[in-house]
Amino acid sequence: MIKKLFCLMLAAVFFVQTAGIAAAAEPDTMQAKLEVVEKTAYGGTQTGALLDRISKLEKDFSTPQPKQSVMQRVDALYDLVFSNEGSPSLVTQMNAIEWGITRSISMKSIQQRVTDMEMTMAGKPSEGTYRTRIDQLAEYAFGSKEIPLVSTNVPANTLIKIATVTPINAKNLKKGDEIKYQAAEDVVENGVLLIAKGAPGVGVVTKVVQARNFGRDAEVNIDFNTMRAIDGTDVETMLGQESKEKMESVAMAAGASVAGMVLLGPIGIIGGAFVHGKNIDLPEGTELYIQTKNDTTLYGLTVEQ
């Protein structure tokens, strides 16, 4: 871990702008809503007549609404899967159960996640609707169908340790490229799990400068925009003062000299003071810290400490 973090601090230059990106917007058409529900449930969109596709989802997740309009039925399915208003969404429940069983979460479809957990616990897939199977998995994870989820606040400047998923190489990147990363460890505050190990995050490259003559290093500027909380909320994140100080303390504990790092500006540029004229080439798995940008209310999972 120290080597990965140290690599980042000595070789890279990052600038995080003050503007963040909010959670993904709700699709604005019925077809788009249905497709995103199908992708989340099954891993891809289904074929066949529209009403048959809706009925399959309603049957699998025990939410038959035959007397409502087609649009109302799709809205109800979308809210069931994604909305945390009033009660935790299906995505939130799945994340909590998967963490309870495996101590991490994946980004696979609900169908695949349910099957994988059943294979882990019982050695074979179960029968019945996905709603029934999810309730059975909750029993495995928590001893009850009731999942210990609570509404909680994630304070601004909460630190998150992440690991890059997208390799960061100045020679291969351009402005606008997406940078994927994931939580390298759980984020727990006051006995409540907020972000689970393996949760995804997304940033974007805002500037790339190649290494040049006369010892001028390459530069890659990245906005670390969001991190997915356990309830599916895309929490706005950034590389700020607290995360810079955390990385500095870790590097110093590993034997780095303060003179070996450059920390500039109110938002933060982190770079190598003695790596000259070199390309930035950070492999997948490079670890660093980012932090939450604002206070955020979401559902967290009560855990034993």
Describe the chain by its helix, strand, coil percentages, rounded to 5: 35, 25, 40
Position 285 in a domain: yes
Strands 149-154 and 261-264: unpaired
CB 285 within 8 A of CB 145: no
Q: How many domains are there within the chain?
A: 1
Instruction: Spell out the alpha helix ranges (H) of the chain.
Output: 2-11, 30-42, 50-60, 70-82, 90-102, 110-122, 130-142, 241-253
**Residue 74 to residues 32, 34, 78, 93, 111, Cα–Cα distance (Å):** 10, 6, 6, 20, 19
More confident residue, 170 or 31: 31
Question: Would you say residue 18 has pLDDT above 70?
Answer: no
Write down the mean pLDDT value for the chain.
83
Query: Measured in Å, how far apart are the chain's first and last C-alpha atoms?
Result: 23
Residue 254 — pLDDT band, cuts 50, 70, 90? Answer: low
- The mean per-residue pLDDT over the stretch 244-263 comes to 61
Position 42 in a domain: no
Position 283 in a domain: yes
R_g of the chain computed on alpha carbons: 22
Position 237 in a domain: yes
Question: Would you say residue 276 has pLDDT above 50?
Answer: no
**Structure-token pair, residue 228:** 């997915």
CB 156 within 8 A of CB 263: no
CATH of the domain at 174: 2.40.128.260
The domain of 8 spans 2-22+152-302
More confident residue, 286 or 277: 286
Q: How far is CA 67 from its chain centroid?
A: 37
- The mean per-residue pLDDT over the stretch 234-246 comes to 90
Position 146 in a domain: no
